[in-house]
Amino acid sequence: MYDLRNMAAWEAVQAAIEAGGRTRKDVAERAGISLNVLNRYCSRQDGYEPSLGMVVRLCMALDNTLLVQWAEAQLEMPDDAVPVATCRADVLTGIARATASLGDANRLAAETSARGVTPADAREIRSALLDVIGEARMVMAMLQPLAAHRDVRTCAPLASLRPPQKHGGRRPWWRFWR
């Protein structure tokens, strides 16, 4: 597994080539670029990076989407950019935003049902659904720090603090002296 978030562009290109299992020459031929250009993409000192259109061509030539995943990882919000949900209102507000976005997507889909879905309509609906996913991810990120903690109220760290259990009238083994 690659640490895509902390990887430089040249490292991502090299990792994608290694993951694709092809030689640089083969990748260059399949992408329709010269081997020198591909070598510049992989060079640490050059600072030469593939354009957005070239990333798509490289992914198709490599038969993997590692470069697209790298680009997505660069766009992710840092962990501290999302505030932690401190109360129920924060969570409900986030869920309401996601629900409103879903309503927008539903409205767009309903408007297109009478005349059929055109490519432009499909792009609008997909964009609206991506907004829904983004809002839902925001709520999940707000809850993540809280969800990572153990709930101390539901587990007893010491056996002596555990509430008494019904053992058919028997005392627990540690209370044999009473």
Question: What span, in angstroms and rounded, lies between the C-alpha atoms of 44 and 97?
Answer: 43
Helix axes 66-75, 52-62, angle to 10 degrees: 140
pLDDT digits (tens, 9 = 90+) for 64-97: 999 999 998 888 766 667 788 888 999 999 999 9
Q: What percent of the chain has pLDDT over 90?
A: 51
pLDDT digits (tens, 9 = 90+) for 100-125: 999 999 999 988 866 788 888 899 99
CATH of domain 4-75: 1.10.260.40
Residue 50: name the closest of 73, 59, 25, 21 by CA: 59
pLDDT band at 55 (very low <50, low <70, confident <90, very high): very high
pLDDT digits (tens, 9 = 90+) for 122-138: 999 999 999 999 999 89
pTM above 0.75, yes or no: no
Residue 50: name the closest of 40, 60, 36 by CA: 40
Classified as helix, coil or strand, 38 is helix
Count of alpha carbons within 13 angstroms of residue 145, beta-carbon side: 10
